[in-house]
């Protein structure tokens, strides 16, 4: 009986280890090195700067369009008189 119990327990241990390897280890997030964090921060900063520049360009183009519309309205009014 002892021999049978020992064989069964060793097989159970092997199965338990195999299942443990297949299962996700933990909820702990993956380690990100300091260099990677700096790189990610720089990329985020560059993206933010690009967005700000795009917004400025859009605002300037909208302002130019509004000025051109005002000028065209003034020309139309001047020609209508």
Residue 2 lies in a domain: no
Domain of 54, in residue numbers: 33-81
Residue 7 lies in a domain: no
Residue 23, pLDDT > 70, answer: yes
Residue 22 lies in a domain: no
Residue 22, pLDDT > 90, answer: no
Residue 25, pLDDT > 80, answer: no
Average pLDDT, the chain: 89
Residue 27 lies in a domain: no
Residue 15 lies in a domain: no
Structure tokens at 81: 């008189």
Number of structural domains, the chain?
Answer: 1
Residue 40 lies in a domain: yes
For the chain, percent of residues with pLDDT exceeding 70: 98
Residue 17 lies in a domain: no
Residue 28 lies in a domain: no
Rounded Cα–Cα distance for residues 62 and 74 (Å): 18
Rounded Cα–Cα distance for residues 46 and 61 (Å): 22
């Amino acid at each position: 009986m002892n021999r049978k119990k020992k064989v069964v327990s060793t097989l159970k241990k092997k199965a338990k280890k195999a299942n443990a390897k297949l299962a996700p280890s933990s909820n702990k997030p993956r380690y990100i090195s300091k260099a990677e964090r700096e790189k990610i921060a720089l990329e985020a900063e560059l993206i933010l700067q690009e967005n700000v520049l795009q917004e400025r360009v859009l605002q300037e183009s909208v302002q130019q369009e509004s000025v051109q519309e005002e000028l065209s309205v003034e020309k139309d009014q001047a020609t209508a008189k």
